[in-house]
Amino acid sequence: MPTIPAPAGRYATLPKAELHLHIEGTLEPEAAFRMAARNGVRLPYADVEELRARYAFTDLVSFLDVYYECMAALRTEEDFAELCETYLRTAVGQGVRHVEMFFDPQAHTSRGVPVDTVIDGLLAGFARVAAREDLTGGLILCFLRDRPVAEAAETLESVRHRASDLIGVGLDSAEVGFPPSLFEGVFAAARALGLHVVAHAGEEGPVKYIEQALDLLHVERIDHGVRCMESPAMVARLRAERIPLTVCPLSNLRLGVVSDLADHPLPAMLGEDLLVTINSDDPAYFGGYVADNFAAVAGALGLDEEQLELVARNSINASFAPAGRKAQLLAGIDAWAAARS
């Protein structure tokens, strides 16, 4: 397994937004077993050590197998509230001041957990932390692209009455073989509800998936998008249109998108003036929360504080936060930079 650099350091004090975070991917092994025990659920692992041993992922699908198995522990509103609260406490300690978190309702409704249970629990957990900390954000509902499109449409319809509780919708899960074009109608319906739209594209899938996400789904951000570097034309388009890319370096390392963090395209993406952000994706599985990702790329790629300050600014500007909140958060980065100089 590739070595992951040491965590956080000074980057834990750098104010930032996290825009690519799957809340189910923050379920640490100890919490999974604790929740499974109280809910009478048996996980397919003998203990925490056996579960952690499964974290030697070879690709996205090998990760998703474990990811979905562990979700079986999540059953009640309080489970989701605890999951959200635990992540947010960690995130705040890593400098996150705004978070737009993904959740996967189909992975829960398929197990008999109502979507309202999921949403109510996550919102309760968010409210608990936001009441004590300088934190804003909300929820982005993701459709599982490797499940039937009709199911995605039904999922959207099931939350129509709760559209005001969501920031937007996204598209995730196994990418290869499930192009964005399949979900054109579902995303049109989501936009008609006034929801923001984002999509995973260009992680393992080809540049064509990025193009489809932009032209057919009309997404406002591309999640991952690292394969854009294979196409000068796509790089030029992303730069010209200022399309944000929510890059996840430690995720890319652990899933084999890059074999060594030193080979990550992040410096080249910054060199092309792309609107890149750094995020943790599924930190319980990939060895680091967001500030850990900042510290890792600083060490492995030689990025300096000025470059990573820019990435933090990008995260605020790429968020769906109101203009006033963005200004407040950018002022916090100014203060961090002033203290550095």
List the catalytic residues.
Answer: 203
Q: Is 281 annotated as a binding residue?
A: yes
Q: Is 196 annotated as a binding residue?
A: no
| DSSP SS3 for 103 | strand
Residue 259, Cα to own-chain centre: how many angstroms? 21
Q: What share of the chain is helix, strand, coil (3-state, %, to 5)?
A: 55, 15, 30
**Whether 201 contacts 221, CB under 8 Å:** no
**Whether 104 contacts 67, CB under 8 Å:** no
Q: What is the 3-state secondary structure (H, E, C) of 132-177?
A: CCCCEEEEEEEEECCCCHHHHHHHHHHCHHHHHHCCEEEEECCCCC
For residue 208, the one-letter residue type is: K
Report how far residue 146's alpha carbon sits from residue 179's, in angstroms, rounded to the nearest whole number. 10
Report how far residue 198's alpha carbon sits from residue 260's, in angstroms, rounded to the nearest whole number. 28
Report how far residue 135's alpha carbon sits from residue 97's, in angstroms, rounded to the nearest whole number. 5
Q: Is 200 annotated as a binding residue?
A: yes
Q: Is 215 annotated as a binding residue?
A: no
- Please name which of 180, 238, 245 lies closest in space to residue 208, comparing C-alpha atoms: 180
Hunting for tokens 């509902």 — which residue is that? 141
| DSSP SS3 for 223 | strand
- Please name which of 251, 256, 341 lies closest in space to residue 296, comparing C-alpha atoms: 251
Q: Is 223 annotated as a binding residue?
A: no
Enumerate the β-bridge partners of residue 141: 103, 169
Enumerate the β-bridge partners of residue 281: 21
- Please name which of 115, 132, 89, 97 lies closest in space to residue 17, comparing C-alpha atoms: 97
Numbered residues of the known binding site: 20, 22, 200, 281-282
Numbered residues of the known binding site for substrate: 282
